[in-house]
């Protein structure tokens, strides 16, 4: 299994954030982007994940379109899960690509985008 230190993983997340679509990234407000080793048991239960299912990232919050213009929501949170990714990839390049894909996917949920729109935008910058 690929080994990456926490500092290397955090740096990779920061680096790929710079590569994501600028028009979307400048509009991200009040969102904590963090990483964790694994999803918590509560997160797995809330998502009804089976033991054989992995989770690479999770958006927790209220998507912008569902806020109805209200601004009194607490901060949203995006968590990138390190160990499931390390078990999935074989090279540092694959890890970087997976981090980028996952981070984009979770940020897109913040904007309320459905999977078709997420993939359409992602295809444009590949």
Q: Domains in the chain and their CATH numbers?
A: 6-66+74-124 (3.30.2010.20)
Q: In the predicted model, is pLDDT for residue 69 greater than 90?
A: no
Residue 102 pLDDT grade (very low, low, confident, very high; cuts 50, 70, 90): very high
Residue 61 pLDDT grade (very low, low, confident, very high; cuts 50, 70, 90): very high
Report d(CA 76, CA 88) in Å as an integer.
Answer: 27
């Amino acid at each position: 299994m690929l080994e990456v230190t926490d500092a290397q993983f955090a740096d990779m997340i920061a680096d790929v954030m710079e590569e994501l679509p600028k028009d979307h990234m400048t509009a991200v407000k009040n969102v904590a982007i963090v990483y964790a080793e694994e999803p918590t048991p509560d997160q797995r239960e809330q998502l009804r994940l089976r033991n054989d299912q992995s989770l690479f990232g999770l958006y927790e919050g209220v998507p912008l379109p569902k806020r109805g213009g209200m601004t009194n929501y607490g901060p949203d949170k995006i968590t990138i899960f390190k160990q499931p990714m390390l078990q999935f990839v074989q090279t540092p390049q694959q890890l970087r690509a997976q981090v980028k894909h996952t981070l984009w996917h979770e940020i897109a949920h913040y904007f309320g985008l459905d999977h078709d729109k997420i993939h359409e935008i992602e295809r444009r910058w590949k």
